Amino acid sequence: MSTTMTDIVWQPSGKYLNSRVADFMKVHGMKDWQELVARSQKDIEWFWSTFCQYAGIKWTQNYSHLLDRSAGIAWTKWFVDGKTNIAYNCLDWHVLDGHHYAGSRENVGKDHKALLWENEAGDRRELTYGELNQLSGKIAALLKQLGLKPGDPVGIYMPMVPEVVAVMFGCLKFGSPFMPVFSGYGAKPLQVRMADAGVKVLFTADGGGRRGKLIDIKKDVDEAAEELPSLEHVIVVKYKGNAVKWHKRDKWFHDVVPQLEPFATRADLDSEHPSMYLYTSGTTGHPKGCVHTHGGALATIAKELGMNFDVHPDDVFFWLTDIGWMMGPWMMIGVTFWGGTMVIYEGAPNYPSPDRIWKLVEDLKINTLGVSPTAIRVLKAAGDQWVRNHNFESLRLMGSTGEPWDHDSYMWFFEKVGGKRAPIINISGGTELVGCLLMPLPVMPIKACSLGAPGLGIDVDVFSEDGKPLKNEIGHLVCKQPAPSMTRGFLGEPERYLNTYFARFPDVWYHGDWAKVDDDGNWFLFGRSDDTIKVAGKRVGPGEVESVLIQQEAVAEAAVIGIPHEIKGEALVCFLVLMPGHNATPQLELEIKEHVGKELGHVLKPDKIHFVSALPKTRSGKIVRGAIKRQYLHEPLGDLSAIENPEALTAITSA
């Protein structure tokens, strides 16, 4: 990808230059965003201590020193001796009397809307900060009544309904780390994750909905419970009204929660007290349980939603996500910390019609919309008419994460949805960070597909194979200093954690992504380094090839794998979904192959192209290339529960 300053598509002006990060820069006498990013990387202690004070993070006991890295970057402790609670900072602080302006944060009061909810059918509910705080307190009271102690984990296997937000905050109030699992996974993945920590209490629902179909969530819980001897209580939200089997351990949410007196938030939890156990998704291997703390997660999420997404109390913020993915808790915590209003949605983004999300944006006057590039490719393929029918004047910022962009889809999102007046805050990090390594600021110029700059206070770099910094070359994305929200190991697997992130470059976090910094200081990603394909000695990432494929007018989506080749070592095989109105023909296949060869070099011309009706993806929108490759090569598939549309994977066999 060749980039110059002429590739800039977003140039900030007006209100964007008066955002919160601009105020922070003014307070500290900084002339531009480059100076802020550079200082925050060089002096992480200055940045994090200064930001926490500026943001008004509340400590019931101040920390004695910011961090302790005596055991190395992998085991750094943050906000040492400090005591706090995420829920206290996000809910209690906003509704308790006597609170006033603190730092750059406003106290919004109990009647301010905390969340707006809608599902595919258009059913709606809302909760104010006071209502959410009270309901969360009652859930915390239930945890105490059930005999839990602070530190005992609680499982969440629920659809995206308002109660799921209250359950998350109820766990935080009580001091129980919550363990969310995507409610479409099925029994076995749920059982594996709950067994890791010996969960005693699990919150679920009778059912959920997706594309107009009932998802029998309770049935999955019943099946998983047969292999969970530790599970004592299952609390069931009545949402769909479908018939469910009942067991001695089961209790209806509406029978046990409403009559309780709210539990007072434990605001004096140690900053290193676990707040959540988030599991990375995948289709092979045992899932990794990432351990996040009250102090570290709060600091990072508050920084990203406040400085990069500029959330204010009058903002309506929506990220198309699930409680089971990192972006769910990230949105819920970050938006409420700054007093904004979150939108949660249960259902598919293009059901019952391709404009379902566009209608949501217009109807709820959403100011920030976050999606994955894959979701945009699907919505783009439906045709521009679905976008033209809606008004997006409320949009101020747009967000994206999950995978690298292709230029055409990025520009479609920027132009057709954002009207060229709302920047795309394209971010990348991971479940292991419950935050980002790279993300633009609203005060900076942004190039198409760029991730802007390093996250504030995040000392990232690009390394060569031998650990030397690179400029304007593709290399390994690394982080050279600790960050507050880095996982405190993997749940029960400390050696696996060390081998995953610190074995390649000693005392340096190896993230596993290909990255590049261009001559102008703009950052770009090129997919996972463990997905790298080597064709006749030339390395290429699937994302790089896919980006070229999608340049073709006929191509809506693409997935690329490498298969063994007796001469070249590996050969490229491409799976393409075509735009409406285009047909799979030998001539089109030849044109696409020639196009890739022209753009990337003859040696990288695909050996085979298969036209398919859909690509298999996870619920979060990631294309499962590993599963595609195993299916194509007739290898064992492993756990496929993360795949939303397994029928698309089955079709690969006959492709």
Distance CA 174, CA 196 (A): 21
Please, are residues 77 and 272 in contact by the beta-carbon 8 Å criterion?
A: yes
Given this model, what pLDDT does residue 390 score? 97
Determine, yes or no, domain membership for 551. Answer: yes
Where does a domain end: 222, 243, 275?
Answer: 275
CB hemisphere CA count around 207 (13 angstroms)? 13
Determine, yes or no, domain membership for 566. Answer: yes
Q: Give the largest Cα separation in the chain, rounded.
A: 74
Distance CA 444, CA 16 (A): 9
Determine, yes or no, domain membership for 586. Answer: yes
How many residues appear in the chain?
Answer: 655
Determine, yes or no, domain membership for 576. Answer: yes
CATH number at residue 554: 3.30.300.30
Determine, yes or no, domain membership for 130. Answer: yes
Given this model, what pLDDT does residue 124 score? 98
Residue found by looking up tokens 């509704």 in the block: 95
Note the pLDDT tens digit of each residue in 608-645: 999 999 999 877 677 888 899 999 999 888 777 778 88
CB atoms within 10 A of CB 324: 28
Where does a domain end: 230, 256, 275?
Answer: 275
Determine, yes or no, domain membership for 193. Answer: yes
CB atoms within 10 A of CB 620: 23
- DSSP H helices, 89-215, are 93-95, 129-145, 162-174, 187-197
Given this model, what pLDDT does residue 98 score? 56
Provide the token pair at 92. 């209690």
In the chain, the number of structural domains is: 2
Q: How many helices (H) and strands (E) does the chain have?
A: 21, 33
- Beta-strand pair 569-578/555-565: antiparallel
Distance CA 59, CA 186 (A): 40
Please, are residues 588 and 615 in contact by the beta-carbon 8 Å criterion?
A: no
Whole-structure pTM value: 0.90
Provide the token pair at 577. 């979904």
CATH number at residue 216: 3.40.50.980
Determine, yes or no, domain membership for 638. Answer: yes
Given this model, what pLDDT does residue 539 score? 73
Distance CA 386, CA 567 (A): 47
CA distances from 203 to 99, 160, 163, 171, 247 (A): 33, 13, 10, 11, 14
Collapsing DSSP to helix, strand or coil, 518 comes out as coil
Distance CA 654, CA 427 (A): 36
Where does a domain end: 227, 245, 275?
Answer: 275
Residue ranges in the chain modelled with pLDDT below 70: 1-6, 97-103, 281-285, 620, 654-655
Determine, yes or no, domain membership for 606. Answer: yes
Please, are residues 540 and 515 in contact by the beta-carbon 8 Å criterion?
A: no
Closest CA to 178 of 197, 163, 205: 197
Distance CA 187, CA 170 (A): 25
Residue found by looking up tokens 């390994």 in the block: 476
Provide the token pair at 537. 């000695």
Q: Which amino acid is at 372?
A: S
Burial class (CB in 10 A: 0-12, 13-18, 19+), 85: buried
Provide the token pair at 141. 């009271």
Q: Which amino acid is at 153?
A: P
> Which range marks the domain in which residue 650 is found?
532-654
Closest CA to 433 of 329, 505, 286: 329
Distance CA 85, CA 136 (A): 14
Given this model, what pLDDT does residue 526 score? 86
